[in-house]
Chains A and B, each alone.
Chain A
């Protein structure tokens, strides 16, 4: 709309003088690439499978990253892990949330995933992810669930805050994935998925599927399978899900862990 001349003349009598921006400490603090995950162990390794997968992938790709505690409410889509590249940008670019978006950014820089890798990725998302969530969300593993998915600060809040936080976290995790997670997973299909992975691995040390340019023998599938199997044996070793994991996959997970983090447990 055109501003009438007399009104414009009045406004022009009051020119705006602009001073420099007020310094902002918080933006200056984010100099490094940061990966926000639910929780980290004493070894500074992410506890949940998705956070562990991204952290491992970044290490394999030789990208320096500072792993920090985050909250799923850091982004509107409520997805962790969250990757924030260095240097805050006003348009918010350089922020990637959720496993798929981060993989798209990291692997997209390397090369496109091939069809076989895509197939295994869908299988992991569908069967292993839901079996993992169904197990850790069951009442038997509430303590482990809170250890993996909430920070020490949240866990140490007094009643009733801790109860509210826990219920909200369980709701948030239950709503993850394509469907609302049911508390019982289908052990038959999960077992089939795990055995097809074991068959694919065979006697080889690594899957070498979804090959990464600087990943050596490791491929993306190695990292994704490792992140689930390692998390299962680390946090719910006595669960029904753990009993379904073939020996070759658990040995593979130990191998990948030693290869990437140079330590074995």
Chain B
């Protein structure tokens, strides 16, 4: 789901400004005057059902605030952290002053639906799916959420996920959560003539920026052709993986689908043992710019490497490029090595893209844009060491495509319809000259 767009953020900024003026007035119109909270009350259906310890941990920043700026920051932080628990409908916080220099806060916590069953369809990332999702929230008063999700799709033939999640307030800073996931899925990997079944479990702790976790997964790879490539043959069957991972995420974009300011940086690191041990790291970034009042631009890139520790990497762990969501002008995952007709990906990846967005003449919607792009990338197998692998990559030209089209930034996903023109490619890669349609949440 996309972030709030710029209008929502401006609303938020206006709200905070109004709050600051209000708190200043409560402090006797002295922005530097000392003030303190003498009480924080909570009410609402959600408050009754949540344990006192959790609420206290979230309200604590208010009690520590002693200046106007601190009060505003604390009020914002408390509201954000309580909303992020995802167990309340819409957290409201009001501040009053019973006597000069003293404040009280009233937090209204209407409970979100404690049991929810949903069915629906979704699309994106090159596939469509139907799902059933059941969620149980805060039944033990710990802010815990249990989710069971099952879906069937065009590429991910079936997927089931059980997730238990609870906040770690009091143990770690606010907004950290502990999560336990058990999952199973079967997906069709058309570009490498096999289907893959995964069954696994993950335990992780997350915050908006950091995720640490441990994963255990059994991957079963089944050839979907009578005569698949040597790569698929050699990896068919079962393989287990145990891994420890750390992901870092920074997002200051004003809009996830059409950024005109801010940046997204995602860093993934993984150490894996098992049948195909490896070290892996990957960096993704997107930076949005406003060129003029109506024209904006984004620059994005991806760089990653995987070091196989026993000589060969598993095809599911490798990097793949190509398709409407990353390197447009190529078919999905069809960049890089080709083994007897199967795209087998690579252990090192570099990709970049530049997009220009302009309004469509005589269309007032800010979400519909003309779009021009140039993007390219390379995926390569691991050579004799990391340096040699990247030097090989830099010494051979990347596959590049350009094009233009229409883009629609719907709040749920970004839609693109482009006319693509591949400029360079390598023999065996599958370029796509013509119309290409993409729906997704993140694009290169």
B428: which A residues are within 8 A, CB to CB?
A: 21-22
Q: Does A27 contact B (CB under 8 A)?
A: yes
Distance between A95 CB and nearest chain B CB, rounded to angstroms: 4
Distance between B327 CB and nearest chain A CB, rounded to angstroms: 14
Q: Using A161-B238, A164-B218 as known contacts, say yes or no to A88 and B422 having CB atoms under 8 A apart.
A: no
Distance between B374 CB and nearest chain A CB, rounded to angstroms: 11
B237: which A residues are within 8 A, CB to CB?
A: 71, 73-74, 154
Q: Does B255 contact A (CB under 8 A)?
A: no
Binds B, one of A10-18, A54-62, A179-187, A247-255: A10-18
Q: Is the CB of B426 within 8 A of A22?
A: yes
Q: Does A90 contact B (CB under 8 A)?
A: yes
B205-233 near A? 1/0 per residue, CB < 8 Å: 00000000000001011111111111111
Question: A127–B323 Cα gap in the complex (Å)?
Answer: 52
Binds A, one of B17-25, B166-174, B338-346: B338-346
Distance between B381 CB and nearest chain A CB, rounded to angstroms: 6
A53-94 near B? 1/0 per residue, CB < 8 Å: 000000000000000001101111110001010001111110
Question: A10–B420 Cα gap in the complex (Å)?
Answer: 11
Q: Using A73-B221, A89-B340 as known contacts, say yes or no to A27 and B230 having CB atoms under 8 A apart.
A: yes
Q: Is the CB of A21 within 8 A of B236?
A: no
Question: A200–B312 Cα gap in the complex (Å)?
Answer: 51
Q: Is the CB of A73 within 8 A of B223?
A: yes
Q: Is the CB of B426 within 8 A of A19?
A: yes
Give the nearest-CB partner of A154 in chain B: B238
Q: Does A4 contact B (CB under 8 A)?
A: no
Q: Using A75-B228, A161-B240 as known contacts, say yes or no to A19 and B396 having CB atoms under 8 A apart.
A: yes
Q: Is the CB of A21 within 8 A of B226?
A: no
Q: Does B421 contact A (CB under 8 A)?
A: yes
Q: Does B336 contact A (CB under 8 A)?
A: yes
Q: Is the CB of A27 within 8 A of B240?
A: no
B230: which A residues are within 8 A, CB to CB?
A: 26-27, 29-30, 84, 88
Q: Does B275 contact A (CB under 8 A)?
A: yes
Question: A212–B72 Cα gap in the complex (Å)?
Answer: 92
Q: Using A74-B233, A92-B226 as known contacts, say yes or no to A24 and B339 having CB atoms under 8 A apart.
A: yes
Interface residues of A in 128-176 (CB under 8 A from B): 153-154, 157-158, 161, 164-165, 168
Q: Is the CB of B240 within 8 A of A158?
A: yes
Question: A105–B202 Cα gap in the complex (Å)?
Answer: 47
Question: A164–B216 Cα gap in the complex (Å)?
Answer: 14
Q: Using A19-B396, A19-B426 as known contacts, say yes or no to A165 and B238 having CB atoms under 8 A apart.
A: yes
B234: which A residues are within 8 A, CB to CB?
A: 26
A10-50 near B? 1/0 per residue, CB < 8 Å: 11011011111111111101100000100000000000000
Q: Does B380 contact A (CB under 8 A)?
A: yes
A158: which B residues are within 8 A, CB to CB?
A: 240
Q: Is the CB of B223 within 8 A of A74?
A: yes
A92: which B residues are within 8 A, CB to CB?
A: 225-228, 340-341
A13: which B residues are within 8 A, CB to CB?
A: 421
Q: Does A97 contact B (CB under 8 A)?
A: yes
Q: Is the CB of A26 within 8 A of B227?
A: no
Distance between B170 CB and nearest chain A CB, rounded to angstroms: 34
Distance between B122 CB and nearest chain A CB, rounded to angstroms: 29
Distance between A169 CB and nearest chain B CB, rounded to angstroms: 10
Q: Does B424 contact A (CB under 8 A)?
A: yes
Q: Is the CB of B199 within 8 A of A164?
A: yes
Question: A214–B278 Cα gap in the complex (Å)?
Answer: 48
A168: which B residues are within 8 A, CB to CB?
A: 220
A23: which B residues are within 8 A, CB to CB?
A: 337, 381
Q: Using A73-B237, A76-B226, A88-B229 as known contacts, say yes or no to A20 and B340 having CB atoms under 8 A apart.
A: no
A21: which B residues are within 8 A, CB to CB?
A: 338, 426-428
Distance between A186 CB and nearest chain B CB, rounded to angstroms: 33
With a 10 A CB-CB cut-off, give which of A73, A90, A91 has the most chain B CB atoms: A73
With a 10 A CB-CB cut-off, give which of B236, B396, B431 has the most chain A CB atoms: B236
Q: Is the CB of B337 within 8 A of A22?
A: yes
Q: Does B126 contact A (CB under 8 A)?
A: no
Question: A215–B191 Cα gap in the complex (Å)?
Answer: 43
Q: Using A27-B340, A164-B199 as known contacts, say yes or no to A73 and B226 having CB atoms under 8 A apart.
A: no
Distance between B34 CB and nearest chain A CB, rounded to angstroms: 61
Give the nearest-CB partner of A98 in chain B: B226
With a 10 A CB-CB cut-off, give which of B229, B237, B338, B426 has the most chain A CB atoms: B237
> Out of A17, A29, A88, A95, which one reaches B424, CB within 8 Å?
A17
B417-439 near A? 1/0 per residue, CB < 8 Å: 00101111111100101000000
**Could you list 19 A-B pairs, sorted by A, with CB under 8 Å?**
A11-B421, A22-B381, A26-B339, A27-B339, A36-B233, A71-B237, A73-B222, A73-B223, A74-B223, A74-B236, A76-B226, A82-B233, A84-B233, A88-B230, A88-B339, A93-B227, A97-B226, A153-B275, A161-B238
Binding site for B on A (CB under 8 A): 10-11, 13-14, 16-27, 29-30, 36, 70-71, 73-78, 82, 84, 88-93, 95, 97, 153-154, 157-158, 161, 164-165, 168
Sorted from nearest, which 5 A-B pairs have the closest CB atoms? A92-B227, A71-B237, A14-B421, A21-B427, A74-B236
Known: A17-B423, A74-B228, A93-B227. 18 other contacts (CB 8 A): A14-B423, A16-B422, A19-B426, A20-B427, A21-B426, A21-B427, A21-B428, A26-B230, A26-B231, A27-B229, A30-B230, A36-B233, A70-B233, A88-B340, A92-B227, A92-B341, A157-B240, A158-B240
